[in-house]
Structure 1
Amino acid sequence: MKKYIFSAFYLMSFVLSQKTIEGLPMSFNNQLSEEYHVIEMPVVDVQKLLDEDAIAPAGTPTRYGKSHYVDYNLENSGTWEVIPSQGRVWRLKIISRNAFAIGIYYDNYLLPEGAIFFVYNENEEMVHGAYSALNNQDDGLFATPLIEGDSIILEYFEPDNASFNGNIEIERIVHDYRDILNFNNQNTPSSRCGTNVVCPEGEDFIDQINASSWLDMGSYICSGSMINNTSNDLTPYYMTAWHCTDGLNESTFRFYFNYETETCEGSSASNGSHSYGSILIATSGDVDPDFTLLEITDEISDTWDDVFYAGWDRSSSPPLINSGVHHPGGDPKKINFDDDYAQHSPGINWQDIGYSPPGSHWGVIWDVGCTEGGSSGSPAYNSDGRFIGQLTGGNSWAYYGKFSRGWDGDSPSSRLKDWLDPDNTNQMTLDGIYVDPDHPVFELNNVTFAEVYGDNDSVINPGETGEFVVNIEVPEV
């Protein structure tokens, strides 16, 4: 018996929010030809890509995919077949040898009512769809999630009574050479760059963890955070780094909120709930202070009661840091800890992405954890659990673009205050809020770290032992 994994099933299990409707590919229930058009991508030199990744400059998003730019559509590719008295079916098989998974990006997607579109792997165990006219966008852009394996089948059904001929034009095929979603369950998450958020150490930082997500930008990975505004109206604003999003199509981004391991020591992780698509609201346009504010256009379902819209603090005084949440190297969600005041940054030359002047970032040396590619755009929080900046990068120091520095700017498109304080309250701080207003909000009062055995430098280094104490208020529920 074949095991089918459908997007509709995901909607029940993980509340995935990219719009799909019920249905099966027509080839599953109709006797169609086994012969149809197959296209094979050029061979990918994985070692060359890995070597390039190893020397990528600090602050570079984690790359997981090789993009093949193509121009395939319903007219110049694939095979059509007629189903009498119903309509016609178009199928195309794409092979990218040795890919762990394949993702497809489209630059002209427009379907008539009644038409349905699927992508699935060769053994038909992973099926995404049915996509339909509900997925039509004004810009014509569309993307389908990664499908496990090195071959993918695209199938489109157009009914006889369709009001027009649909358009499906493929712009880019992504060859996943890292198994970024760990389909094979062989990746071992880094134990160096943070603690798995499901570990006991993360329990008291649940709000900060629930605000953060893994950001898939199509062959590259960053991190980011939901963020609240003074109207507390759950506008789905999302903060990440400018250098993550620059030059990319925000309308095809995917936001995975619960990509985390199942156990503290485990490596297995489910994708969790995700939203698809966003629009650019405001951006610094450079690495001073390297922010992008997006608005997610897909639904943040009210059944996702564990999505937190982080509060913030726009003070220009150095904050006392307590945590940072991120996806280092594209790993499942991690958390870092600290109990020191951030420092004003020096001037920094970020090589390929520009120069940030002195004082544009908060500098942090994490007591527990570190950052690496994939952590870019991730949030740092102060001792009140409020957002104070998003990560640009760094080595021994991690540098977070100051939230306070992004507050003002020349226009609404280059500053935060118009969006995060729409009523011009001039608040300096704001608490966070859950999608579900009855969800408990944890208030962190104090976090302290102490070295128990080691060199007495007040830092818990590898091979030493220590303890941390958390003072926390939990409201009654």
Structure 2
Amino acid sequence: MPLKKIRGAIAGAAVVCLSAALSFGVYAQSVHLDPLRVQAYTQPGDTPEEFVPTKRMAAAVIPAAQVNLGAWVAEKAAVPLGGALQVGAQRTSSTTATPQALGEMLPWQRSANGGWVAAVSVTSENAYGLRLGVVVEQLPGSALLRVYTQRNRDAVFEIAGQRVLQILQANAAAGDVSAEGRTWWTPDSGGDEVTLEIELPPGTSTDTLRLSIPQVMHVYENLSLPLEDEQAITAKINESGYCNLDATCYDNYSTQRNAVARMLFVKDGYGYLCTGTLLNDRNSTATPYFITANHCISSQTVASTLQTSWFYRSPSCDARTLSASYRVLRNGATLLYTSDNPDSTLLRLNDTPPAGAVFAGWDAGTRSAGQSVVGVHHPRGDLQKISFGAVRGLNNCIPADAGSYLCGASSSGYYYNVGWSQGTTEPGSSGSGLFFDGRLTGTLSNGSATCSTTAGSDNYARFDIVYPALKQWLEAGSAGTPGGGTGGSRTAVYRFYNVQTGAHFYTNSAAERDYVIATLPAFQYENVAFYAYPVQQAGLSAVYRFYNTGTGAHFYTISTAERDYVNVTLPAFQYEGPTWYAQSAAGGSAMPVYRFYNSQTGAHFYTVSAAERDFVISTLPAFMYENVAYYVWTSQ
């Protein structure tokens, strides 16, 4: 067929003794009896967020080193990536391209808590958004990185160094040890200026930081729209074709539209848009499985750059403004499976989907010609649209250059060929879901449909063909541990750094986390450290928690012998019981927790980051390395 496009604790304060188990709600929303079909599941309103944004800024306005890349006079370089919509291109920044160059620019000053803080502001004229490519050579885990614009310092994205190291560790574990794999991409700024602020904790030298920003992704397409309570006075660039249908007008498909998100990601320094769908698993564990196309995301390094926009649609039918309920998740994803034929990728989001998001049901049965189907997608990155059509038959599609496919009719084809009676698809719709009887049955790969080409059609990778490869996750009894033999969902373990004592505190209680953030300002929140299980499972052991009444620090051990020794011989240590459950030995996808003893303070430190482990060993001589404490997970 002719191919037009490819869619493409706590010192100086009371001991915090809240419940150590998170409440995840009741996931068994329905009993799934059909071996090929699963119902949808809706995220409860009381689901704790994994990555809680810190509301406070530094006490004083931080003067920033200025980098102005000037006006971009080059052509908008088109780098094909199938039907993914290219929305940005890379610019080089010679003044920040090496750790030495950036280090010499940063105007370090003392922070309010006695550490160090500095910032760099990057401007690229006429950009609709910027993402900085920060290459990490060495970064303290307790550093805080903040991203904001000078015009709106209140809208801050904050992430701990240890979380950045985990993201880059996932790239390295997938085999990418290149500079690209060591690059952390800041969230989209939404304007032509972005500031990166770096705060180091007390006792950490600025010489221990080695970062560079050799690349900047300049967003040249306007991805923003006015909120519903603002006047739409500016033209909206990248509006989709005239025949597209506003998904908000079709409430019978509210379940499907709440499962679909717009994707923004970076590959080789260029920015692209696609569409993806949140998927339920058979046991409704609320594990954020997310399906899209291989030609959109096919590597862990690209998955780590993913931002997803939820409820990205109008507040009312044909309102043509963005609903105020719109949410953005910025912490990337883990690549689980990818295949170029059929064109499909399964991710697990690193963030908790927002309340009200739907984990779509799916149908692994085979569709027949003439069956009615529905597509929900973001053509050209626009507000969510919906298309109505029918399966025309099956196609075989052969991968060609630059993510394109050559397709032809075949009775055993891996793709549903779909024609539309209402609506269409466009670049940016790539990876979006095809729904039959309310359940996902395919993902958009390529096609020729347009508003003006009524005879055109689209090809969707068949879910029934991909399903055998995805079954290990979607049928598994536990979140992210296919075939692991343990059941239930994992809980996040959150990490804090006490800037007064230098000790770290860990909790898997979202309530305790929020209490500490709200009431104990000496505790610097460093977000999710790792994941464990909140209740006993086969093959797991309890991790026990103690509170040292003399130093205010907490101690954690998986060893019952060590637990008993501390109880008997160290009366200053107040036993607080089991706090989470982990593996005492290596196995499956579990990762080691490295343990250190601070000979100056008597406190222990734990990290799952090999890079942070090496940083502590090389730069902090007071920390005695005590090897692996136990084994946990780096995703939900």
Q: TM-score, normalised by structure 1?
A: 0.72
RMSD (Å) for aligned C-alpha atoms: 3.1
User: What are the equivalent positions in structure 2 for 1:139-288 lying under 5 Å apart?
Assistant: 139-140=167-168, 142-162=184-204, 165-170=208-213, 172-182=215-225, 185-187=234-236, 189-192=239-242, 194-199=244-249, 202-218=250-266, 219-247=271-299, 248-270=301-323, 272-275=326-329, 276-284=331-339, 286=340, 288=341
- 3-state SS of 1:75 partner: helix
Rounded Cα–Cα distance in structure 1 between residues aligned with 2:286 and 2:113: 47
8 Å CA contact 1:17, 1:300 repeated in 2: no
Deviation at 1:134, TM superposition (A): 5.9
Structure 1 residues 148 and 280, CA gap change in structure 2 (3 angstroms) = closer
Rounded Cα–Cα distance in structure 1 between residues aligned with 2:361 and 2:322: 27
The amino acid across from 1:335 in the alignment is: I
2:366 to 307, 316, 320: 316
Structure 1 residues 156 and 351, CA gap change in structure 2 (3 angstroms) = closer
- 3-state SS of 1:260 partner: coil
Deviation at 1:130, TM superposition (A): 3.3
8 Å CA contact 2:433, 2:444 repeated in 1: yes
The amino acid across from 1:178 in the alignment is: E
1:44 to 72, 77, 80: 72
Rounded Cα–Cα distance in structure 1 between residues aligned with 2:311 and 2:275: 12
- 3-state SS of 1:376 partner: coil
Does 2:461 align with 1:401? yes
Does 2:134 align with 1:106? yes
8 Å CA contact 2:120, 2:195 repeated in 1: yes
Q: What are the superposed Cα offsets for residues 255-295 of structure 1, whole Å, 9 maximum, x if unpaired? A: 212111233223322582233221111111x1x11000001
The amino acid across from 1:332 in the alignment is: L
Does 2:440 align with 1:387? yes
Residue number in structure 2 paired with 1:369: 423
Rounded Cα–Cα distance in structure 2 between residues aligned with 1:421 and 1:112: 36
Deviation at 1:368, TM superposition (A): 0.9
Rounded Cα–Cα distance in structure 1 between residues aligned with 2:236 and 2:50: 26
The worse-fitting range, judged by mean Cα deviation, of 327-336 and 85-94 is 85-94
Q: Which runs of 5+ in 2 are unaligned?
A: 1-44, 169-182, 227-232, 449-455, 478-636
Does 2:120 align with 1:92? yes
Rounded Cα–Cα distance in structure 2 between residues aligned with 1:67 and 1:294: 25
Rounded Cα–Cα distance in structure 2 between residues aligned with 1:352 and 1:22: 42
Structure 1 residues 16 and 277, CA gap change in structure 2 (3 angstroms) = same
Structure 1 residues 81 and 373, CA gap change in structure 2 (3 angstroms) = same
Residue number in structure 1 paired with 2:83: 60
- 3-state SS of 2:304 partner: helix
User: What are the equivalent positions in structure 2 for 1:402-417 lying under 5 Å apart?
Assistant: 402-408=462-468, 415-417=469-471
- 3-state SS of 1:345 partner: strand
The amino acid across from 1:363 in the alignment is: N
Deviation at 1:65, TM superposition (A): 1.0
Deviation at 1:169, TM superposition (A): 3.8
Rounded Cα–Cα distance in structure 2 between residues aligned with 1:84 and 1:102: 29
Rounded Cα–Cα distance in structure 2 between residues aligned with 1:335 and 1:238: 19
Rounded Cα–Cα distance in structure 2 between residues aligned with 1:84 and 1:261: 43
Structure 1 residues 41 and 279, CA gap change in structure 2 (3 angstroms) = same
8 Å CA contact 1:72, 1:171 repeated in 2: yes
Deviation at 1:397, TM superposition (A): 0.7
The amino acid across from 1:143 in the alignment is: W
8 Å CA contact 2:373, 2:391 repeated in 1: no
Q: What are the superposed Cα offsets for residues 153-179 of structure 1, whole Å, 9 maximum, x if unpaired? A: 222222333488445443532111111
Rounded Cα–Cα distance in structure 1 between residues aligned with 2:204 and 2:120: 21
Q: Which runs of 5+ in 1 are unaligned?
A: 1-11, 409-414, 424-477
The amino acid across from 1:311 in the alignment is: G
Rounded Cα–Cα distance in structure 2 between residues aligned with 1:311 and 1:39: 48
Deviation at 1:17, TM superposition (A): 6.1
Residue number in structure 1 paired with 2:148: 120
- 3-state SS of 1:135 partner: helix
Rounded Cα–Cα distance in structure 2 between residues aligned with 1:294 and 1:83: 39
Rounded Cα–Cα distance in structure 1 between residues aligned with 2:255 and 2:245: 16
Does 2:157 align with 1:129? yes
The amino acid across from 1:282 in the alignment is: Y
User: What are the equivalent positions in structure 2 for 1:431-450 lying under 5 Å apart?
Assistant: none
The amino acid across from 1:274 in the alignment is: V
Aligned sequence identity (%): 25
Q: TM-score, normalised by structure 2?
A: 0.55
Rounded Cα–Cα distance in structure 2 between residues aligned with 1:381 and 1:111: 46
Rounded Cα–Cα distance in structure 1 between residues aligned with 2:224 and 2:49: 15
Rounded Cα–Cα distance in structure 1 between residues aligned with 2:245 and 2:98: 43
Residue number in structure 2 paired with 1:22: 55
Rounded Cα–Cα distance in structure 2 between residues aligned with 1:205 and 1:351: 36
Residue number in structure 2 paired with 1:80: 108
Deviation at 1:89, TM superposition (A): 2.2
Deviation at 1:194, TM superposition (A): 2.4
Rounded Cα–Cα distance in structure 2 between residues aligned with 1:258 and 1:105: 27
Rounded Cα–Cα distance in structure 1 between residues aligned with 2:244 and 2:53: 36
Q: What are the superposed Cα offsets for residues 320-352 of structure 1, whole Å, 9 maximum, x if unpaired? A: 2331110100111111112x3341115456542
Structure 1 residues 263 and 136, CA gap change in structure 2 (3 angstroms) = same
- 3-state SS of 1:416 partner: helix
The amino acid across from 1:93 in the alignment is: S
Q: What are the superposed Cα offsets for residues 201-241 of structure 1, whole Å, 9 maximum, x if unpaired? A: x1001111111111111311100101122222222111000
Runs ≥4 in structure 1, deviation > 6 angstroms? none
Rounded Cα–Cα distance in structure 1 between residues aligned with 2:348 and 2:462: 20
The amino acid across from 1:207 in the alignment is: T
Rounded Cα–Cα distance in structure 1 between residues aligned with 2:65 and 2:421: 55
The amino acid across from 1:192 in the alignment is: Y
Deviation at 1:373, TM superposition (A): 0.6
Rounded Cα–Cα distance in structure 2 between residues aligned with 1:258 and 1:215: 12
Deviation at 1:117, TM superposition (A): 2.8
Rounded Cα–Cα distance in structure 2 between residues aligned with 1:193 and 1:49: 27
The aligned length equals: 385
Structure 1 residues 143 and 27, CA gap change in structure 2 (3 angstroms) = farther
8 Å CA contact 1:112, 1:166 repeated in 2: no
